[in-house]
Amino acid sequence: MGVRKDLKRAKQRTDLMDRTRVEVIRDAEGVVREARTPPLAPHAATGSTAELPFTNAAEAPDAVALRRKQGTTWHPVTTTAFAHEVTAVAKGLLAAGLEPGGRVAVMSRTRYEWTVLDFAIWAAGGQTVPIYATSSADQVEWIVRDSGARYVITETEENTETVVTGTARHQQQPHVWQLDADALAELTTLGRDLPDDEVTKRRAALTPDTIATVCYTSGTTGRPKGCVLTHANLHAEAANTVELLHPIFKEVTHQTASTLLFLPLAHILGRTLQIACLMARIEIGHCPSIKPDELRPALSEFRPTFLVGVPYLFEKIHDTGRATAEKMGRGSSFDRADRIAVRFGEAYLNKFLGTGKGPGAGLYAAWALYDLLVYRRVRKELGGRMRYAISGGSPLDRNLNLFFYAAGIIVYEGYGLTETTAAATIVPPLKPRPGTVGQPVPGTAVRIADDGEVLIKGGIVFGSYWNNQAATDAVLTDDWFATGDLGSLDEDGYLTITGRKKDILVTSGGKNVSPAVLEDRLRSRPPVGQCFVVGDNRPFIAALITLDPDAVAHWLAVRKLPADTPMTEVTQDPRMRAAVQKAVDYANEAVSRSESIRAFALVEGEFSEENGLLTPSLKVKRHAVAAAYAREIEALYGN
């Protein structure tokens, strides 16, 4: 298995193993309260992120920077070609009247043109304001008005209509270009008479402290806030993660790194990933969707060596594997493969970390058998070349992480927020520790406050919210950012996130319960789609659970029931409730009895962006769900 060989080689490279040393600080009782990692990349003293395409073109003019899909073929784009395209689009923005510091909103799914636009806006001296392609007219109205964006670039005609509708009452409506209507060609034509030197002058005027982007939070409560991120913030994040990860992957795996970018570029994780890849000259491809049925063909064609995703992706790949096995009459075989994977992954990692003997002969034999039957199919689903992945956004179930390790893919978890320019912590590549979100990114410090809140400090931390000093003052104190998340640090400075401070439930018996632990484990098991744990001021913990549509279709097919069976019948079927109870039991294994889910209700429909119950980054809007299902929640408690 490739990853096992990588880990063996890695152990022999002490120069790589010891590149970062985390300092931990304990309180008077010996509890670790702070962890600090020194920077690996120097602080940016001059210049900006806008220089990246031009530096690459000067130093490696024929290197492939990106691959652009046209039809069914992935065409290489060299660093020189990319820099030329960025310059041409930047000149178009200048010709359209973009002033230094002017803001340009981009409302699009992830695609090649988004990356061109990001760097073109910066090269023209502007600031990018990303907008999720799924945003409503009201959300667009707020972001455009609050940011003062005078230009908007949309992807589709539908996006354009949303912008026009949302900004109809603005005193000055923004100028709109549409990617599906050849926006880049239109901008290139608009700026063709300007000399390239005009763009060079704009770039030269930028400094590390210049604002690069106003990136709006996804807004689980209230209106989204615009996080002001500078070029120094972006550099600190990208440069340090590149210095941490890339040399190790390159030296140990001997692969040419490449990745398929499918995270929304309106989310800061996707943005910093593309910057880091261009900085390290890692080939990038783009896919506009995270939906497995749409992503799977792109993975098969592009065949990336690593991915950056969210737990939803890994959960769906696992669920698809089980569903496929069930269709073949091998559901119980998959379940055994799952259990073997967790045992094997645990044992092997313990051996690597020096805390155990490793798998015995019988466990090795069982792993080898299921590698032929199951695990290799998982690798094939991800393109066949992938050995590493990074997961962020929310905690990944530990057993699911171990399953992928046994399947030949190490999933490193990370943790961060828009306010920390994406990752603030990440699991070091040679020191995996499933169940944690890693150590501080180089150049970053993590502190645990007296009430358990996670505080972050470093070059990645934002400076302010746009036009909102009160909100800024509420979360920034002496350069420490209060995340609102609860967590703990272990003896080696690894952070574990235990929940969201504002989401803590207090039962009528006085028990404090974090719903995140239960919800994360519930979602990792079919047939659960989404879930919402309740119990504040109630006698016990309960949950609302939606069923995953694909899991329902599979469940009906296996039982030879009509595909159009009403959901009311499905949710009331004792066999379906028994399947969900197994997922509930699995979730309850992680908590004490007083914190466990005692009752659940299967509710029809889904939590989605479209119905306002999920954010674009797939987080549950708790207040919205509580309001929408108030009657069902009351019924759980016999009211």
Question: What is the arithmetic mean of pLDDT over 545-574?
Answer: 90
Compute, in degrees rounded to 10, the torsion defined by CA atoms 49, 51, 52, 56.
Answer: -170
**What is the reported pLDDT for 639?**
67
**What is the reported pLDDT for 534?**
93
Question: What is the arithmetic mean of pLDDT over 474-481?
Answer: 95
Residue type, 246: H
Question: What is the arithmetic mean of pLDDT over 563-585?
Answer: 92
* Tens digit of each residue's pLDDT (9 = 90 or more) over 399-446: 999 999 999 888 888 999 999 999 999 998 778 888 899 999 999 999
Any idea which fold 79-237 has?
Answer: Rossmann fold (3.40.50)
Rounded-to-integer distance, Cα 236 and Cα 480, Å: 16
Rounded-to-integer distance, Cα 273 and Cα 275, Å: 5
Q: Is 498 helix (H, G, I), strand (E, B) or coil?
A: strand
Range from 223-232, 274-283, 598-607 carrying the lowest mean pLDDT: 598-607
Q: What is the CA radius of gyration of the chain?
A: 25
Residue type, 406: A
CA angle 544, 545, 551 (to 5 degrees): 175
Rounded-to-integer distance, Cα 596 and Cα 580, Å: 15
What is the 8-class DSSP label of residue 129?
E
Range from 240-254, 346-360, 537-551 carrying the lowest mean pLDDT: 240-254
* Tens digit of each residue's pLDDT (9 = 90 or more) over 370-393: 998 889 888 888 888 888 888 887
> Under a CB-based contact definition with an 8 Å cutoff, are residues 10 and 430 in contact?
yes
Q: Is the pLDDT of residue 1 over 70?
A: no
Strand partners, 600: 543
For domain 504-636, give the CATH number.
3.30.300.30
Range from 217-221, 231-235, 341-345 carrying the lowest mean pLDDT: 217-221
Q: Is the pLDDT of residue 4 over 70?
A: no
User: Minimal CA–CA distance to 207: which of 55, 44, 419, 58?
Assistant: 44
Question: What is the arithmetic mean of pLDDT over 124-142?
Answer: 94
Q: Is the pLDDT of residue 251 over 80?
A: no
- Annotate 217-247 with b (16+ C-beta within 10 A) or e (fewer): bbbbeeebbbbbbbbbbbbbbbbbbbbbbbb
156: phi then psi, degrees, rounded to nearest 5 = -120, 170
**What is the reported pLDDT for 134?**
87
Computed from CA positions of residues 105, 107, 110, 113, in that sequence, does the dihedral angle turn out positive or negative? negative
> Under a CB-based contact definition with an 8 Å cutoff, are residues 169 and 69 in contact?
no
User: Minimal CA–CA distance to 433: which of 301, 345, 362?
Assistant: 345
Structure tokens at 279: 């900085």
* Tens digit of each residue's pLDDT (9 = 90 or more) over 505-528: 888 777 888 888 899 889 888 899
Q: Matching CATH topology for 79-237 and 504-636?
A: no
Q: Kindly list the domain boundaries of the chain, sorted by start residue.
A: 79-237, 504-636
**What is the reported pLDDT for 619?**
79
Range from 171-185, 571-585, 615-629 carrying the lowest mean pLDDT: 615-629
Question: What is the arithmetic mean of pLDDT over 6-11?
Answer: 60
> Under a CB-based contact definition with an 8 Å cutoff, are residues 363 and 340 in contact?
yes
**What is the reported pLDDT for 435?**
83
Query: What percent of the chain shows pLDDT beyond 70?
Result: 95
Range from 245-259, 335-349, 364-378, 615-629 carrying the lowest mean pLDDT: 245-259
558: phi then psi, degrees, rounded to nearest 5 = -60, -35
* Tens digit of each residue's pLDDT (9 = 90 or more) over 170-218: 999 999 999 999 999 999 999 999 999 999 999 999 999 999 999 998 6
**What is the reported pLDDT for 451?**
92
More confident site: 625 or 82: 82
